[in-house]
Structure 1
């Protein structure tokens, strides 16, 4: 318990006094340092959490959650009626894909072509969510749906025609020539990821198989789940159903990316925690100077019977109160900035005419932010813990002061 005397003395030592000018400066810098450290940590963690979540949503929304590819024999369609598969999935779509070269107005580019029939194409999230200009039911033969980024790069719009070259050759009298076909653009999609929009296009599955000389038995199954988050457990279940096929998930394809994001987030947490640690060391300096300035006061307190543990409590509380209030103020700043980080980015970009979050590098058009209460709790806990640790030594030093020497030299 903390007595009334201990509270009064602690409060008095926390008050600003003119004769403690340098000491007050150290206390202010300690407060600012810890507040900024906590705020920056919360902002960075929120942006990185938001970036990860947004990236997962974009990737999961554009790609199938689980893909089943046959090794030799075609996928047994009777297994699509499996009870477990029906429970965990919301859509089952047969598709195929291949790589080709698009040719338009002296511009050539590699492109991944995905093949669907019109009915299945309309089931894709990128179409269902309304991120499509044109008609989703017009993925007929010799029609193509391209991404927004590709349409900008090639200056194309709905109704334009583009040539696509296949790596499959056609035997002619002069030798083997690559197969080339012309497609009409019937729709333009926006996945939210510039990389997808620039490098992927959709065509009719029959056109694709004819274009690449694929057989129908090589079609693979795209599974869209009700809950794609618990992907590892679901993958095992699907692998048991399709035991003679290769099964992979969205997490397998992007494992290196999300591992890198996780490592980067942990490293940033460690690096930015050093700001709090450095600021906390100012508390040691401030309390040490406070003990030195209050030598006479400590000696008087001891001479009237105040116990050593009370002296420890007083100086310990001074350090903890500075650190705790700074932590909570830092949380307030961090949460406010995290909520309005996109507005701040737009303001700085427009004011200084600079690009702070280039879409072509970060894949996203806006700076995302996701405030995670557990992250804030861990950050505040670490900050207060560091404050407690650094407040112990000066408090113990104050309690060991000899009252006779203290009064003698004052």
Structure 2
């Protein structure tokens, strides 16, 4: 009751009440800022991880010892390993793509419809066109940002130029072919939407010349005067793949699954590169940034805690006569300490709860607020060209929110101990001597 009366403003105590209110606001801002920033950083990491591992597997497998002609059998063997969700084979190459409005370097990936169906992120990202009858398709699928760069739309032609073409007596000639754009997708990640060109597997194998004509089993030596028809009938074309992407159930169990793949008999040898190796520097930097941001922003709460100390010290000074009267009426030192501890802690609790509600609301509507502020100011906040993602993700972690709340409450309580202890040390005789 007494602590509650000390918190309520009176005319002669207006200054102390203003300080207490500002302290409460400081705690709320600190808590809300920590929750919002940590939620956005969690969302940023989770969204990047989903996008990266939505197209690129947890493992990238490259064949060794022989050409990758048995890719279908190898994928079937990999999918029998415990912990492997599925695997896809692909053809990949780097080319120069040009259209009516420009040109840029791209990564071409050839995949058949069976493997495209496994990549739900890609399947669900088609904004124009689609992946129906993909194997019979004669065109390509490109990202919407790449379409903007090349200045092309659905049905327009893009030209792909590869330096590795047919061999002639004068050396290798560039491979130049044009394909119509049949699908435009939006993955929501700038790097992927600007880089990847997907085409049916058979088109990619022909374009990159990933095949070899070999004599059919049982075919004897050909007559030097054999016709073209006879030569074609004696040979068969064996196609190859560039590699495979392996998707597993738990992204954090890459080492366990790697050992299982190596220990499974019958699986052809692969060079395996996991997602942690490919993105080690990037995700390590994100982790360091999260820790640094949490430490720095915690200083806001610490500053607010010092404000609790200053407001309570002034309150104790102003209430020195009240303390003396309470002591003469029988109040113990412990009771005096409890009064001022409750007063300061209440400031911290109200500020923390206010910051908690505010932080959760802002974190849940981060993208909406970003878009609104961008439209209001006419400035692009968090440009996708810099931050990789086309929207501002947010993912609230209950554990981190609990840590922030406990930290704020703990600092608020600790800040009350010194002023409450000083209040308990007041000598009622000295305080009332001249009254």
Normalising by structure 1, we get a TM-score of: 0.90
Superposition deviation, residue 14 in structure 1: 1.5
CA distance in 2, matches of 1:56, 1:83: 23
Q: Which segment is superposed worse, 167-176 or 295-304? A: 167-176
5+ long unaligned stretches in structure 2 = 212-238
Q: Summarize the Cα distance change of 1:15–1:132 in structure 2 as closer, same or farther, 3 Å threshold.
A: closer
Question: 1:4: which partner in 2?
Answer: none
Question: 2:203: which partner in 1?
Answer: 207
1:89 aligns with 2:87: no
Superposition deviation, residue 210 in structure 1: 3.8
Q: Residue 47 of structure 2 contacts residue 393 of structure 2 at CA under 8 Å; is this kept in 1?
A: yes
Q: Equivalent residues in 2 for 1:329-368 (5 A)?
A: 329-368=354-393
Question: 1:146: which partner in 2?
Answer: 142
Superposition deviation, residue 205 in structure 1: 3.0
Q: From 345, 367, 387, give the equivalent of 1:320.
A: 345
- Secondary structure of the structure 2 residue equivalent to 1:156: coil
Q: Summarize the Cα distance change of 1:89–1:323 in structure 2 as closer, same or farther, 3 Å threshold.
A: same
Question: 1:42: which partner in 2?
Answer: 35
1:219 aligns with 2:242: yes
Q: Summarize the Cα distance change of 1:131–1:106 in structure 2 as closer, same or farther, 3 Å threshold.
A: closer
Deviations 1:312-370 (A, max 9, x none): 11111111111111101110111122222222222212222111122222222222222
Question: 2:59: which partner in 1?
Answer: 66
Q: From 229, 233, 241, give the equivalent of 2:256.
A: 233
Deviations 1:194-247 (A, max 9, x none): 211111111233433443344655632222334546444334433444583211
Superposition deviation, residue 9 in structure 1: 1.8
Question: 2:174: which partner in 1?
Answer: 178
Which has the higher Rg, Structure 1 or Structure 2?
2
1:98 aligns with 2:93: yes
- Secondary structure of the structure 2 residue equivalent to 1:85: coil
CA distance in 1, matches of 2:153, 2:298: 50
CA distance in 2, matches of 1:230, 1:192: 27
CA distance in 2, matches of 1:275, 1:309: 31
Q: Residue 299 of structure 1 contacts residue 402 of structure 1 at CA under 8 Å; is this kept in 2?
A: yes
Q: Residue 163 of structure 1 contacts residue 182 of structure 1 at CA under 8 Å; is this kept in 2?
A: yes
CA distance in 1, matches of 2:85, 2:287: 30
Q: Equivalent residues in 2 for 1:287-298 (5 A)?
A: 287-298=312-323
Superposition deviation, residue 173 in structure 1: 5.9
Normalising by structure 2, we get a TM-score of: 0.85
Question: 1:370: which partner in 2?
Answer: 395
5+ long unaligned stretches in structure 1 = 1-7
Superposition deviation, residue 90 in structure 1: 3.9
Q: Residue 101 of structure 1 contacts residue 109 of structure 1 at CA under 8 Å; is this kept in 2?
A: yes
Q: Equivalent residues in 2 for 1:121-160 (5 A)?
A: 121-129=116-124, 131=126, 133-136=128-131, 137-140=133-136, 143-160=139-156
* Count of aligned pairs between the two proteins: 403
Superposition deviation, residue 121 in structure 1: 2.8
Question: 1:30: which partner in 2?
Answer: 23
Question: 2:14: which partner in 1?
Answer: 21
CA distance in 1, matches of 2:106, 2:141: 12
